[in-house]
C-alpha cells in the first residue's frame, strides 16, 4: 500500500465550509439567523458532501492493500482519526448535559434507553440501528462518523472492486440504494405501521449501506483524478469559470434535489423522496466539484489553499463534533443567564465553538492520533513531553485558553436574575390589584395557575409573575421569555430556571412571586411571550385561556408604551 505524498489543501479547506454549513443548519432555529433565505434549503446535505469527500480522499491515499500489514495499518489509522475525539465528546455530553440522559439510566427500560445506546456509541455503530434513540443518542451529530465507520469496513472490498470494474460497482451502489428506498416504500404500505417513519429515516438517512452511493461516487472521482491530473491544463481564467459554474450547480442542486425527490417519490413521506433529498440526487454535481478542487487550477481552488482556510479545515472535525453540544448547552442552560440581541448571542456561540475546536484539535485530536498509530511505548513519553513543550511555547494556544475561559466565565458570572418569593394569600391579592387586568386565573398544565402579571421599568425592566400551585408540585420549571415584534416574531429570547435552593416542593394553593429582571428590552418590542416547561421532558405546558399562540402554549402579553 503506497501513500500519496501530495496534500490537497483545497479539499482540506472544503471540510471547514461543509462543517460550517452544518453548524448553521443546526443553529438556525436557536438564533433565527438566515431563516429567510436558508430555512427552506436542505442544508443538511453538507453531510453528504463529507461522504463523497471521504470516498475521494481514501481512494486517493490508499492505492491497494497488497503490502504485508497494510490492511491493519489502514484500520488503525481510521480508528485513530475518529474514535478518540468522538469518545471525548461523548464524555463531554454526559458531563455538560446529564439531565438529558441520566434519568434514562434509572428509568423503566435503562438497558434499552441508556446503556445499549451508550455501548453502540462507544463502538461507533449507533447509526446502524434504525431507531432514533440510537442514531440520535448523546452527541447526535456523531451519527455521521458512525456511517463513516461502516464505510471504512467496506472500503477494502469496494476499492478492489472499483479498480477492476469502476462503473459497474458505482452503478450497482446507485441501484442498490434506490432499490432499498423502493422496498421500504412497499413494506411500509403493507406492514400497517411496523415500518414507520422513524425506521425509514433510520435506514435511508443514517445507515451506511443506504449512503454507500455517495461514498463510491467520491471513489470514482479519485480514479478520474489520477487519469486527468497530468492532462488538465486550462488557463487560470478558464479554470476559474469552470470551478464557478460547478459551484453554482452544487448550490442549485441543493434546491433541485428537493424537487427531484418529490417527482420520484410523489410525496414528502416517501422513502424515495428521502433518498433523493439527503444528498443522492445532488451527487452528480458535488462529486465533479470535489474533483475540480483537487485539480486546483482555478482561483477558487487556489483561494481555498490559503493557509487560513487550511487551518480551519484542520479543526473542522472538532468543530463538527463540538458545536451541537455547545448549542444544547446554550439552548437549555446558558439562556438562563443573559438576555442580549441575537446577533451577539450568535457571535458568542461561534467564538466559543471555534476556540474550543482549536483546543480540542491541539489537545486531543493530534496527540491521540499519533499515540494510537505509533504503538512504540518507548516513544510515547517523549512525544507527550514534546507536545506539552510545544503547547507551552505556542502563542496561539496560550492566547486561546484564557480567552475561552473568559468567555465561559462571563456567562456564569453575569446571570439574568430570576427569583422566587413565597407569599401568603392576602399579599397575593394586594398584588393582584396592580397587575395586568387580562392575566388572571390562567392555567399552565395541571400544576400552575398564573394569577397576575406586572410589568415594571422604573430602574430596570422586569416582569413579575404571581403564581399559585394547583397541586403538590415541585417548583422546578423553566420560564421561556420571548420579546416579540408586531408580527409576533421573536426579536430576542431567554429561558429562566429556578435555582436548586428554590426548586422546592409546595402544597396546593401556595402563592409565590417570581421576578424576572432584564438588562435591556430590545427596540421595536410590542409584546412579551411567556411559556412554561419542565426540564425533564422539555415540552411546553398547555395554557387554558388568555391571548395565546403556538397551539395554546405561549401566552402573549402586550406592552403598553
Rounded to the nearest 5 degrees, what angle is found at the Cα of 231, between the Cα atoms of 226 and 235?
125
pLDDT higher than 80, residue 503: no
Q: What percent of the chain has pLDDT over 70?
A: 71
Termini Cα distance of the chain: 74
pLDDT higher than 50, residue 71: yes
* Structural contact between residues 62 and 160, judged by C-beta atoms closer than 8 angstroms: no
Of residues 24 and 318, more confidently modeled: 318
pLDDT higher than 80, residue 206: yes
All structural domains of the chain:
9-332 (no CATH), 418-558 (2.70.50)
Query: Is the torsion defined by CA of 373, 376, 381, 386 positive or negative?
Result: negative
pTM for the model stands at 0.70
Mean of the pLDDT values across residues 384-406?
65
| 532 CB-near residues (< 8 Å, 6+ apart) | 444, 445, 448, 477, 478, 479, 480, 540, 541
Rounded to the nearest 5 degrees, what angle is found at the Cα of 56, between the Cα atoms of 121 and 26?
45
Mean of the pLDDT values across residues 307-333?
85
Distance CA 234, CA 288 (A): 16
Mean of the pLDDT values across residues 34-57?
78
C-alpha cell belonging to residue 535: 426540564
Predicted pLDDT of residue 241: 93
Q: Which pLDDT band, with edges at 50, 70 and 90, does 334 fall under?
A: very low
Amino acid at each position: 500500500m503506497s501513500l500519496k505524498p501530495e496534500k490537497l489543501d483545497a479539499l482540506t479547506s472544503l471540510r471547514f465550509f461543509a462543517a460550517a454549513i452544518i453548524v448553521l443548519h443546526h443553529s438556525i432555529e436557536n438564533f433565527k439567523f438566515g431563516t429567510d433565505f436558508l430555512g427552506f434549503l436542505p442544508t443538511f446535505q453538507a453531510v453528504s458532501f463529507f461522504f463523497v469527500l471521504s470516498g475521494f480522499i481514501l481512494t486517493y491515499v490508499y492505492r491497494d492493500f497488497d503490502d504485508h500489514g497494510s490492511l491493519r495499518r489502514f484500520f488503525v489509522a481510521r480508528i485513530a482519526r475518529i474514535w478518540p475525539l468522538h469518545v471525548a465528546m461523548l464524555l463531554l455530553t454526559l458531563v455538560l448535559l446529564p439531565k438529558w440522559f441520566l434519568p434514562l439510566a434509572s428509568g423503566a427500560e435503562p438497558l434499552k434507553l441508556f446503556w445499549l445506546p451508550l455501548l453502540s456509541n462507544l463502538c461507533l455503530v449507533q447509526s446502524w440501528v434504525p431507531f432514533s434513540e440510537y442514531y440520535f443518542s448523546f452527541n447526535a451529530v456523531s451519527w455521521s462518523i458512525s456511517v463513516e465507520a461502516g464505510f471504512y469496513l467496506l472500503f477494502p472490498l469496494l476499492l478492489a472492486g472499483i479498480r477492476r470494474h469502476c462503473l459497474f460497482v458505482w452503478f450497482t451502489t446507485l441501484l442498490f440504494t434506490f432499490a432499498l428506498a423502493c422496498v421500504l416504500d412497499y413494506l411500509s404500505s403493507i406492514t400497517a405501521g411496523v415500518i414507520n417513519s422513524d425506521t425509514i429515516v433510520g435506514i435511508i438517512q443514517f445507515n451506511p449501506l443506504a449512503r454507500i452511493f455517495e461514498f463510491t461516487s467520491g471513489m470514482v472521482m479519485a480514479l478520474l483524478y489520477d487519469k486527468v491530473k497530468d492532462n488538465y491544463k486550462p488557463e487560470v481564467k478558464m479554470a476559474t469559470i469552470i470551478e464557478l459554474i460547478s459551484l453554482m450547480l452544487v448550490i442549485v442542486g441543493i434546491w433541485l434535489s428537493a424537487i427531484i425527490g418529490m417527482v420520484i417519490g410523489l410525496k414528502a413521506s416517501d422513502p424515495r423522496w428521502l433518498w433523493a433529498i439527503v444528498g443522492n440526487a445532488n451527487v452528480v454535481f458535488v462529486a465533479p466539484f470535489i474533483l475540480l478542487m483537487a485539480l486546483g487550477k482555478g482561483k477558487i481552488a487556489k483561494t481555498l489553499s490559503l493557509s487560513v482556510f487550511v487551518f480551519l479545515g484542520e479543526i473542522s472535525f472538532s468543530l463538527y463534533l463540538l458545536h451541537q453540544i455547545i448549542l444544547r448547552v446554550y439552548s437549555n442552560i446558558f439562556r438562563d443567564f443573559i438576555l442580549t440581541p441575537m446577533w451577539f448571542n450568535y457571535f458568542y456561540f461561534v467564538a466559543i465553538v471555534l476556540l474550543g475546536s482549536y483546543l480540542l484539535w491541539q489537545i486531543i485530536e493530534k496527540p491521540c492520533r499519533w499515540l494510537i498509530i505509533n504503538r512504540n511505548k518507548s516513544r510515547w513519553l517523549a512525544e507527550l513531553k514534546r507536545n506539552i513543550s510545544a503547547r507551552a511555547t505556542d502563542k496561539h494556544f496560550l492566547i486561546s485558553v484564557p480567552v475561552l475561559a473568559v468567555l465561559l466565565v462571563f456567562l456564569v458570572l453575569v446571570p439574568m436574575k430570576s427569583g422566587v418569593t413565597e407569599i401568603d394569600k392576602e399579599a397575593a391579592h394586594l398584588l393582584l390589584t396592580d397587575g395586568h387586568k387580562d392575566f388572571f386565573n390562567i392555567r399552565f398544565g395541571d400544576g400552575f395557575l398564573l394569577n397576575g402579571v406586572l410589568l415594571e421599568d422604573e430602574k430596570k425592566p422586569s416582569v413579575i409573575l404571581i403564581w399559585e400551585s394547583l397541586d403538590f408540585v415541585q417548583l422546578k420549571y423553566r420560564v421561556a421569555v420571548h420579546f416579540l415584534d408586531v408580527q409576533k416574531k421573536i426579536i430576542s429570547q431567554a429561558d429562566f430556571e429556578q435555582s436548586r435552593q428554590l426548586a422546592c416542593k409546595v402544597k396546593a394553593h401556595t402563592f409565590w412571586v417570581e421576578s424576572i429582571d432584564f438588562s435591556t428590552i430590545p427596540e421595536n418590542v410590542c409584546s412579551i411571550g411567556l411559556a412554561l416547561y419542565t426540564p425533564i421532558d422539555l415540552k411546553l405546558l398547555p395554557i387554558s385561556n388568555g391571548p395565546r399562540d403556538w397551539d395554546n402554549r405561549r401566552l402573549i402579553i402586550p406592552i403598553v408604551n
